Structure 1
Amino acid sequence: MTAPAPQQHPFETRPLTEPVHPRAVNEFWRAVKVQNPTSGTQIVIGVIFAVVFGLVFLPVIGFALFGMISGLASGDPGVGALFSLPALIPVVLAAVGIPLFIVSRRRTRESTYRIARFAEANAMTFRPFVADPPLPGMIFHRGDARMASQLVRGQHPRFVEFGNYTYTTGSGKNKTTHSWGYVAVKLDVPLPNIVLDALGNNSLGSNLPSTFSKDQRLSLEGDFDQHFTLYCPSGYEADALYLFTPDIMARFIDHAAQLDVEIVDDWMFLYMRRPASTTDVSTWAWLFGTVGALMTKFDQWARWRDDRLRFAQGAPAQHPSAQTPAAAGPHHPPMPPTALPFAPPAGMLRPPPGVAPQGRRLRTGFSWVTVVVIVLIVGVAMLPQLFGLLSLLFIR
Structure 2
Amino acid sequence: MTAPTTRTATLDTRPLTERIDRRALREYRAGLPGEVRPPLMAAIWPAVVLAVLPVLFLSAWWFVLEDGSIPDEPWDRSALILLPYLALPVGMLVLLVRAVRRRSGVRQYRLDRFARANGLSYRPFAIPVALPGLIFTMGGTSVVRDLLWRGGRSPLSVGNQRTTIGSGRNRKEHRWGYVALRLPVALPHIVLDAAGNNSLLHPRLPVAYAKDQRLSLEGDFDRHFELYCPRGYETDALYLFTPDIMARFIDTVAELDVEIVDDHLFLYSPKDLSTLDPEVWTWLMSVVDILTERIAQWERWRDRRLEPVDAATMPGSFPLIRPPRGVAGQGRRLSRRTGWWWVIGLALAVYGWYLIIGDAVRAITGG
Give the TM-score, by structure 2 length. 0.72
Q: Verify the 8 A CA contact 1:133 1:148 in the aligned structure 2.
A: no
- What is the aligned counterpart of 2:145 among 143, 149, 159? 149
**Contiguous gaps of at least 5 residues in structure 1:** 65-77, 79-87, 321-339, 372-396
Say yes or no: does 1:344 pair with 2:315: no
Residue 286 (structure 2) aligns with: 289
CA offsets 1:64-96 (integer angstroms, 9 cap, x no match): 9xxxxxxxxxxxxx9xxxxxxxxx99x979964
Residue 127 (structure 1) aligns with: 123
SS of structure 2 residue aligned to 1:222: coil
The within-5 A match list for 1:1-396 is: 10-33=10-33, 96=93, 99-100=96-97, 102-106=99-103, 109-155=105-151, 158-203=154-199, 206-310=203-307, 344=318, 348-365=320-337
**How has the CA–CA distance of structure 1 residues 318 and 111 changed in structure 2, closer, same or farther, with 3 Å as cutoff?**
closer
SS of structure 1 residue aligned to 2:134: coil
Amino acid at match of 2:103: R
Mapped to 2, the partners of 1:142 and 1:6 lie a distance apart of 30
Mapped to 1, the partners of 2:315 and 2:150 lie a distance apart of 47
Mapped to 1, the partners of 2:2 and 2:215 lie a distance apart of 41
RMSD of aligned C-alpha atoms? 3.9
**How has the CA–CA distance of structure 1 residues 106 and 21 changed in structure 2, closer, same or farther, with 3 Å as cutoff?**
farther
Q: Verify the 8 A CA contact 1:197 1:206 in the aligned structure 2.
A: no
SS of structure 2 residue aligned to 1:297: helix
Deviation at 1:148, TM superposition (A): 1.0
Mapped to 2, the partners of 1:8 and 1:269 lie a distance apart of 18
Mapped to 1, the partners of 2:262 and 2:317 lie a distance apart of 33
Higher relative contact order, structure no. (Cα contacts within 8 Å, ≥ 6 residues apart): 2
Deviation at 1:366, TM superposition (A): 5.5
Residue 326 (structure 1) aligns with: none
Mapped to 2, the partners of 1:232 and 1:357 lie a distance apart of 13
**How has the CA–CA distance of structure 1 residues 126 and 343 changed in structure 2, closer, same or farther, with 3 Å as cutoff?**
closer
Mapped to 2, the partners of 1:4 and 1:310 lie a distance apart of 30
**How has the CA–CA distance of structure 1 residues 7 and 135 changed in structure 2, closer, same or farther, with 3 Å as cutoff?**
closer
SS of structure 2 residue aligned to 1:178: strand
Mapped to 2, the partners of 1:249 and 1:94 lie a distance apart of 47
Mapped to 1, the partners of 2:198 and 2:265 lie a distance apart of 20
SS of structure 1 residue aligned to 2:108: helix
SS of structure 2 residue aligned to 1:271: strand
Amino acid at match of 1:177: E
Deviation at 1:361, TM superposition (A): 0.6
Mapped to 1, the partners of 2:103 and 2:318 lie a distance apart of 65
Greater Rg over alpha carbons, structure: 1
* Segment drifting more, 216-225 vs 140-149: 140-149
Q: Verify the 8 A CA contact 1:133 1:147 in the aligned structure 2.
A: no
CA offsets 1:249-294 (integer angstroms, 9 cap, x no match): 1110110111100001110000000100000111111111111111
SS of structure 1 residue aligned to 2:324: coil
Give the TM-score, by structure 1 length. 0.67
**Contiguous gaps of at least 5 residues in structure 2:** 57-65, 67-84, 343-367
Structure with the higher fraction of residues in helix conformation: 1
**How has the CA–CA distance of structure 1 residues 367 and 170 changed in structure 2, closer, same or farther, with 3 Å as cutoff?**
same
Deviation at 1:203, TM superposition (A): 2.5
Mapped to 1, the partners of 2:311 and 2:281 lie a distance apart of 56
Percent identity between the two aligned chains: 47
Q: Verify the 8 A CA contact 2:184 2:263 in the aligned structure 1.
A: yes
Mapped to 2, the partners of 1:94 and 1:252 lie a distance apart of 42
Q: Verify the 8 A CA contact 2:132 2:262 in the aligned structure 1.
A: yes
Residue 393 (structure 1) aligns with: none
Mapped to 2, the partners of 1:342 and 1:19 lie a distance apart of 64
SS of structure 1 residue aligned to 2:24: helix
SS of structure 1 residue aligned to 2:116: helix
Amino acid at match of 2:241: F
Deviation at 1:106, TM superposition (A): 3.4
Amino acid at match of 2:197: N
Runs of 4+ in 1 over 3 A off after TM superposition: 3-9, 91-98, 316-320, 340-343
SS of structure 2 residue aligned to 1:200: coil
Mapped to 2, the partners of 1:232 and 1:30 lie a distance apart of 48
CA offsets 1:362-384 (integer angstroms, 9 cap, x no match): 0111589x99xxxxxxxxxxxxx
Deviation at 1:15, TM superposition (A): 0.7
Amino acid at match of 1:30: A
Mapped to 1, the partners of 2:238 and 2:23 lie a distance apart of 55
Amino acid at match of 2:267: L
